[in-house]
Amino acid sequence: MTAEIISGKEVSKEIYGEMGGEIQAFIDKHGIPPHLTVILVGEDPASQVYVRMKGKKAAKLGIGSDTIRLEAETPEEELLALIDKLNADDKVHGILVQLPLPKHINETNVLLRIDPAKDVDGFHPINVGKMLVGEDNLLLPCTPHGVQEMLVRSGTPIEGAHVVVVGRSNIVGKPVAAILVQKKPGANATVTIAHTRTKNMGDLCRQADILIVAAGVPEFVPGDWVRPGAVVIDVGVNRVDDETSEKGYKLVGDVNFDEAKEVASKISPVPGGVGPMTICMLMKNTLQAAKNQVGDP
C-alpha cells in the first residue's frame, strides 16, 4: 500500500482562498488592513529567509506587514521598548519577534512583553493557558494549529482516535496535544505524549491511529513503528548531507518517509508538508488578532 499524501501546500492554498474574502471584508469595514510587524534581531541567514517569506505572503493576501531589523548587538532594553511602542500602536495587530534571538537577550522576557492580544505566535503564557482551557477565537501556536488543519482537511477522523505525539516541545509537542484533546470539533482525541524518557517507543507508536512526530531527529521513526493504516504527520525538518544534490544537502523529516509511506494510509511529506502550514496559520492569526482588537471576532 502507498499512502495518500497530505500536502501542506494544498491545504494552505485552500485556507488562503477562504481568507481572501475575510481580509477584504475587514478592510472594507474598518478602513485599514490587518497588520503584522515582524522584528528581526541580527542576521541569522535562516531567519532572514523566513522573515522575507512572511512579508511576501502577507503582501499577496492584502495583509499589511513591515519588518523592523535591529543589529545583533541591540540591548534587550531597546527591544523591549520597541515592543512597548508596537503594543500601543492601534494600527499594528500582530507582533512577531523572530527566534532565535542573540544570546545576550532573554527570550522569555521578550515573549512576555508582547501584548497577548497581538501575540500571533501564540507563545505568551496567557495564550498558552487559554489554549489549555479551550477558549474560542484564540491565537493558537501556528505549527500545531497547522497540524490540526491538515488532519481535519484530509478527512482524518480525529474524534476518539488515539493520537501519539512524539516530542514534548513547547512549540509543537505540548500544544498539539493540548489542541487535539479539547472537547471540540476537529479534536476530542485520546492523546499520548512520548518523549526521550518514554519506554518501548516503538510499541507505543504502533498503537497510534494518528502519529505526529516532532522529535527533531532525522528519520527517527522507522516504518515498523507505524501501524498499518495509521495517519502520519511529520513535523521535522532536518538538513542531512547529500552529495548527489547541488546544494550538498537535502531536507528530511523525523520519519523515514520511504518506509512509512508503505504502511500508513496517509502521510505528510518533508518538504511540502507541515512547513507551508506555519506561515499560513500566522496569516490566519494576524487576521484573527485584528478582528479581536476591533471587537469583531
Q: Which residues bind ligand GUN (CB under 6 A)?
A: 50, 96-99, 121, 142, 278
Q: Which amino acid is at 116?
A: P
CA 18 to chain centre: 19
Which of residues 51 and 232 has its CB atom nearest to ligand GUN in the complex?
51
- Residue in the shown chain whose Cβ atom is closest to ligand GUN: 99
| Pairing, β 231-234 against β 210-213 | parallel
Output the smallest distance, CB 118 to ligand GUN, in A: 13
Which of 132, 130, 126 lies closest to 112 in space, CA to CA?
126
Output the smallest distance, CB 121 to ligand GUN, in A: 5
DSSP 3-state of 182: coil
Which of 257, 258, 239 lies closest to 248 in space, CA to CA?
239
Which of 63, 65, 27, 36 lies closest to 296 in space, CA to CA?
27
Which of residues 61 and 114 has its CB atom nearest to ligand GUN in the complex?
114
Q: How far apart are CA 74 and CA 154, in angstroms?
A: 44
Catalytic residues: 54, 98, 121
CB of 219 closer than 8 Å to CB of 256: yes
Task: Report residue 155: phi and psi, to 5°.
Answer: 75, 20
* Helix residue ranges, H only, 181-221: 201-205
H or E, element range at 266? strand 266-267
Give Cβ neighbours of residue 169 (< 8 Å, ≥ 6 apart): 214, 216
Output the smallest distance, CB 49 to ligand GUN, in A: 10
Which of residues 216 and 223 has its CB atom nearest to ligand GUN in the complex?
216
Q: How far apart are CA 33 and CA 263, in angstroms?
A: 46
Which of residues 268 and 278 has its CB atom nearest to ligand GUN in the complex?
278
Output the smallest distance, CB 33 to ligand GUN, in A: 21
Which of residues 70 and 99 has its CB atom nearest to ligand GUN in the complex?
99
H or E, element range at 46? helix 45-61
Q: Per the structure block, which three cell numbers stand in for 3?
A: 499512502
Output the smallest distance, CB 38 to ligand GUN, in A: 8
Which of residues 179 and 264 has its CB atom nearest to ligand GUN in the complex?
179
Output the smallest distance, CB 279 to ligand GUN, in A: 9
CA 117 to chain centre: 18
Q: How far apart are CA 172 and CA 116, in angstroms?
A: 19
